[in-house]
Amino acid sequence: MATVRLDERRVRTLKPRKSAYDIRDRSLKGFGVRVLPSGARRYFIHSQHDGQRVWKIVGDAGFIGADEARSRARTLLAAIREGSDAQAATPPDTPFEIVGDEVFRRYARNWKPSTLKVNLGYYRNQILPWFEGRRIGDIAAHGVRRWFASLHETPVAADRSAPVLSVIMRQAEVYGYRAEGTNPCTGIKRYRRQGRERFLSTAEMRRLGEVLARHEADRPQAVAIVRLLLLTGCRKSEIATLKWSFYREGKLFLPDSKVGPRTVWLSSAARAILDGLPHTSVWVFPSPRTAGFQHTVGVGKFWHRVRAEADLCDVRLHDLRHSYASTALAKGETVLTIGRLLGHRDPATTLKYTHMSDAQVREAADAVGAVLKRS
């Protein structure tokens, strides 16, 4: 963190960045100025008292000069050392953005790089514009509900931003900025969105198989990817980024799936597809544009063509994962087993994929009804 002699001229020349940053005063330990992305500058003190972090805003640089701010800071720091102003300068005075930035610095290791990038985007675009400048201790449940309601036109962004805000508030308790058990995000209900309970019927799978067979000669790699998605229940990225070193002992050992390392058990049909592919690169599906040095970027365009030819225009590639789970359920597999096949940690997650067809539900109802009628 930069340390300089803060004076009026230097403070005025500090430029805003994408994230807030601090400049500490060289002559008075614990005194500094924070520059916000909006361009606002706030003098602060930062010290320790009885083992607790003490952070307090001294004043807005737009209204008080550096000398006056330093004088106020010196008085506050002396009072804190004597214990007479400790309560007035407790962590709840800390602005939200300071805590948010600290959480992203310290908590980042708990997220995969791709997840961190996405969460940082939600923080900057959906969360920070609303909460920036507010004291962390003043943010209550009704304020969070108002923020969540303000995002009603973008429900997906709202639903994905809420967990990020919850992490910030939870870690604020861990770091001592808020009292324990005060997370204001508790109880926030996600927006209701129309579900995508779509899976392939037996007839639809047959049509898809026929279309894939027609493209076997001209697009063998794309056909193999789609077939493996259907036969393994894997995510698109897991198949597109496969390396040959991941395939051994009749299984896929994925070192970095969405939920971390996991093992994918392969059927004989899935193994036959992999065994029939050429070994021209470290990647199972190398990109022809990079002479095999990178993996393929996907089969999006090919899938749109295939699904149109198979009259499956409402089916996404991810629905093949749904179909894999639904087929397993129809064959009598338990939710626990299906969860292991899909790589789920929480059984509740698996339930979203185990959609039964109307015919299966009708058969189950008829079977239960027949038993009850005889009793």
Q: Which pLDDT value is given to residue 88?
A: 47
What are the backbone dihedrals phi and psi of residue 49, each rounded to the nearest 5 degrees, phi first?
Answer: -145, 120
Q: Which pLDDT value is given to residue 357?
A: 47
Q: How far apart are CA 216 and CA 222, in angstroms?
A: 9
Q: Which pLDDT value is given to residue 108?
A: 87
Residue ranges and CATH numbers for the domains of the chain are 2-89 (3.30.160.390), 96-174 (1.10.150), 202-317 (1.10.443.10)
Q: What is the reported pTM? A: 0.52
- Contact predicate 58/72, CB 8 Å: yes
What residues are paired with 47 via a beta bridge? 54
Tens-digit pLDDT string for the chain (375 aa)? 567 889 988 999 999 888 778 899 998 999 999 888 778 888 888 887 777 777 787 877 887 889 988 988 998 888 887 766 544 444 556 789 988 998 998 888 888 888 899 999 999 999 999 999 888 888 889 999 999 999 988 988 999 999 999 999 998 887 767 777 889 998 888 876 555 567 788 888 899 999 999 999 999 999 999 999 888 888 888 888 899 999 999 888 988 766 678 888 888 888 999 999 999 899 999 987 776 668 887 788 999 999 999 999 888 888 888 777 767 666 665 656 666 666 666 666 666 555 554 555 455 556 555 555 444
Residue ranges of the alpha helices (H) in 151-299?
A: 155-174, 202-214, 220-232, 236-240, 268-275
Kindly report the number of other CB atoms within 10 A of residue 40's CB atom: 15
Q: Which pLDDT value is given to residue 178?
A: 77
Q: Which pLDDT value is given to residue 332?
A: 62
Q: How far apart are CA 123 and CA 165, in angstroms?
A: 8
Q: How far apart are CA 21 and CA 32, in angstroms?
A: 10
Please name the residues in contact with 72: beta carbons below 8 A apart, sequence gap of 6 or more: 43, 58, 59, 64
Q: How far apart are CA 103 and CA 167, in angstroms?
A: 8
- Contact predicate 93/172, CB 8 Å: no
Q: What is the CA angle 38-113-156, rounded to 5?
A: 65
Q: How are the residues of the chain apportioned to helix, strand and coil, as percentages rounded to the nearest 5?
A: 50, 15, 35
Q: How far apart are CA 11 and CA 23, in angstroms?
A: 9
Residue ranges of the alpha helices (H) in 14-140?
A: 66-82, 96-106, 113-122, 128-131
- Contact predicate 21/33, CB 8 Å: no
Please give the structure tokens belonging to residue 318: 């991810």
Q: Which pLDDT value is given to residue 151?
A: 92
Please name the residues in contact with 60: beta carbons below 8 A apart, sequence gap of 6 or more: 40, 41, 42, 43
Which one, of 52, 57, 44, 42, lies nearest residue 83 by Cα? Answer: 52
pLDDT tens-place string over residues 332-366: 656 566 666 666 666 666 665 555 545 554 555 56
Which one, of 146, 132, 54, lies nearest residue 92 by Cα? Answer: 54
The string of DSSP letters for 140-186 reads: -HHHHHHHHHHTTTSHHHHHHHHHHHHHHHHHHHHTTSS-TT--TTT
Q: How far apart are CA 278 and CA 320, in angstroms?
A: 25
Q: What is the CA radius of gyration of the chain?
A: 28
